[in-house]
């Protein structure tokens, strides 16, 4: 009751899940982003497509049994997409089984016209995305058309995607064919899919920026999460040989070989700039 009075109690949703408290939203969500509308020299080559893998799952069960209302973070998805679109790239939107993309709509920056514009542009694709299996069946032989695979963050990126064999196949395909892999915050959970069926971690020894478990452990105190996380992402990646470049949920971004990563929602703009400039430089 005291937490509710102080605005620290997570909000109960109609489906029984919880979204962040008033206090958590006040400190972690803004109605406008720091997007920089850069006029890039647009890419003119054949590798103009980017596969974007989104989650189709909404609720994460915490250690105490309560469900967190999650999905993909809209800023972490749409700011990098804005930069890459401005640089001349286009997106194919996919989810594991073709169910609609789930966003953390409580985090949507409702006064950001750039974000609203690209969200509305791709809304039909978010509502009817491709299945990953269909992408594998039809596009693996057309690798010359692709520049990168993008996996946006949000806690929902830890649901289903790390255990999805098709995600692992796609990341191995991208790696083998020198495509870039772009991801941030909790999106690097997708990288765990490369360890399925006892395979060696594809990114052993890579530098990367990831949302820190230490911060996730603190957020239940302000009602951002309704309980402690079911498992820790950053320490899992570290145990597999990843070198973590950040200790805070800040704007850190990292480029190591063909892997581009960011630490948190605060890194979304920087990640977009780094991804756009890197792809323009390397894909000549």
CA distance 68 to 59: 5
Asked whether 260 and 181 are in contact (CB, 8 A), the reply is yes
β-partners of residue 18 are 12, 68
CA distance 114 to 268: 14
Which residue in this structure is represented by tokens 């790696």?
175
Which residue numbers are catalytic?
Answer: 185
Non-local CB neighbours of 240 within 8 Å, separated by 6+ positions: 192, 195, 201, 203, 204
| Beta strands 67-69 and 59-61, pairing class | antiparallel
Between the CA of residue 87 and those of 131, 246, 277, what are the distances in Å? Answer: 26, 27, 8
Residue 94's CB is within 10 A of a number of other CB atoms, namely: 27
Asked whether 93 and 125 are in contact (CB, 8 A), the reply is yes
CA distance 43 to 37: 16
Asked whether 129 and 87 are in contact (CB, 8 A), the reply is no
């Amino acid at each position: 009751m005291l937490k509710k009075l102080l605005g620290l109690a997570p909000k109960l949703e109609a489906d029984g899940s919880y979204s962040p408290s008033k206090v958590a939203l006040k400190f972690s969500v803004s109605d406008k982003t720091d997007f920089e509308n850069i006029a890039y020299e647009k890419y003119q080559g054949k590798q103009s497509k980017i596969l974007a893998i989104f989650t189709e799952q909404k609720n994460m069960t915490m250690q105490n049994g309560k469900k967190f209302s999650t999905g993909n973070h809209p800023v972490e998805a749409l700011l990098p997409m804005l930069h890459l679109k401005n640089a001349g790239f286009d997106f194919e939107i996919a989810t594991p089984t073709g169910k609609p993309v789930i966003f953390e709509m409580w985090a949507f920056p409702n006064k950001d016209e750039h974000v609203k514009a690209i969200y509305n542009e791709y809304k039909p694709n978010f509502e009817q995305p491709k299945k990953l299996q269909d992408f594998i069946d039809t596009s693996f032989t057309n690798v010359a058309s692709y520049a990168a695979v993008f996996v946006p963050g949000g806690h929902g990126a830890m649901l289903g995607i790390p255990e999805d064999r098709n995600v692992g196949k796609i990341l191995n395909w991208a790696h083998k064919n020198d495509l870039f892999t772009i991801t941030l915050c909790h999106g690097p959970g997708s990288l765990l899919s490369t360890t399925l069926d006892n395979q060696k971690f594809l990114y052993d020894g890579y530098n990367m920026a990831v949302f820190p478990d230490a911060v996730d452990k603190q957020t239940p105190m302000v009602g951002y999460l309704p309980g402690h996380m079911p498992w820790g992402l950053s320490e899992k990646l570290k145990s597999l040989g990843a070198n973590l470049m950040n200790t805070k949920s800040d704007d850190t971004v990292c480029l190591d070989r063909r892997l581009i990563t960011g630490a948190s929602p605060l890194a979304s703009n920087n990640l977009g700039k780094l991804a756009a400039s890197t792809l323009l430089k390397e894909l000549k």
